[in-house]
Amino acid sequence: NLVANIAQMEHVLVYTDNEVGLSALPFFHIYGMQVLMNGMLTNGVTVLTMARFDMEQALELVAEHKVTRFFAVPPMVLGLAKAPIVDQYDLSSVKQVFSGAAPLTVELQNECAERINCEVVQGFGMTELSPVTHCTPEGRNKPGTSGVAVSNVESRIVDPETGEDQPVGERGELWVRGPMVMKGYLNNPEATAETIDAEGWLHTGDVAIVDEDGYFSIVDRIKELIKYNGFQVPPAELEGLIATHPKVLDVAVIGVPDDAAGELPKAFLQLAPGADLTLEELQAFVGEHLVSYKQIRLMEVIDLIPKSASGKILRRELRDR
């Protein structure tokens, strides 16, 4: 499955001679191991490694070594789009920023692309999928999407309650099948059976949409959807919007239990230095862009949004606060 996925990625991540890639993600994580290490080395790319991500050091490496590929997770893309220090470095060598692990909004993707003056693309994958199943073909970028299915991947958008395939433009759970699917969870046949059905379809647990051109957009994790007054509120959609606010450096949204509504969307904000933002101001901003039920009901300002080594928000830590 790992070797198969390297071959699958070669059709969408096309490298030329003398390319240099920046690797700021851990190689023990599937993104770092497959896309950054195995994928680039297989194609003769020079790989610059960082023990941990630091924006200033990353920018220095890009400028000094003429990095052409910047592999990132959304917090890094947010920094490239907003951090003042970015303007101090020559990043003209970068021809592509590739983001994975969580979805980017169209606004953030375009903001980063305009600032760095390069293509910013997304892909989708999971550890269980080795990991990449969807990626943006070079020169065919559609911001806000994770691209199309890579070679030899079958994809379906399925209503998780009925098991019926959803039409174009309708949300459902993303199911995939192909040679990159894992054999199973070690010594856990029950979990394996819950994830991979009898026909070989792996149920990703991600809510997705496919458009008429075959481009897939990841909306959120099914288990992370906030249930507010009977409506489903995707945290990632709120996070993507709030991240575009000029006073916000980073954001995470979770559902907080409520007797009347079921759950209330709560935003944890990391504000820009010296900035101040009230709940009312944040609600006014969100209300300009989203329907009323997709509204922040609670807010807390914290020093730093907790994240894993791969850049994913540690929502459990926020729930335990």
DSSP secondary structure, 88-125, as one string:
GS--TT--EEEE-SSPPPHHHHHHHHHHHTSEEEEEEE
Q: How many CB atoms lie within 10 A of CB 273?
A: 6
- What predicted TM-score, i.e. pTM, was given to this entire model? 0.83
Q: Is the peptide bond before 143 cis (omega within 30 degrees of 0)?
A: no
> Which domains are present in the chain?
1-221 (3.40.50.12780), 225-319 (3.30.300.30)
Q: Token pair of 38, please?
A: 């195995």
pLDDT in tens, the chain (321 residues): 999 999 999 989 999 999 999 999 889 999 999 999 999 999 999 999 999 899 999 999 999 999 999 999 888 998 999 899 999 999 999 999 999 988 888 999 999 999 999 999 999 999 999 999 999 998 899 999 999 999 999 999 999 889 999 999 999 999 999 999 999 999 999 999 999 999 999 999 999 999 999 999 998 888 889 999 988 899 999 999 999 999 999 999 999 999 989 999 999 999 999 999 999 999 999 999 999 999 999 999 999 999 887 778 999 999 998
pLDDT at 169 (0 to 100): 96
Exposure of 238 in the CB half-sphere (CA atoms within 13 A): 31
- Angle subtended by helix axes 55-65 and 74-82, to nearest 10: 80
Buried b (16+ CB within 10 A) or exposed e, 41-63: eebebebbeeeebeeeebbebbb
Is residue 175 a contact partner of residue 155, using CB atoms and an 8 Å limit? yes
pLDDT at 102 (0 to 100): 83
Instruction: Using alpha carbons only, give the angle 80, 294, 115 rounded to the nearest 5 degrees.
Output: 15
pLDDT at 310 (0 to 100): 75
pLDDT at 311 (0 to 100): 78
Alpha carbon separation from 125 to 122, 132, 229, 291, 313 (Å, rounded): 10, 4, 32, 29, 17
Environment class of 4 (CB within 10 Å of its CB; exposed 0-12, middle 13-18, buried 19+): middle
pLDDT at 239 (0 to 100): 94
pLDDT at 105 (0 to 100): 87
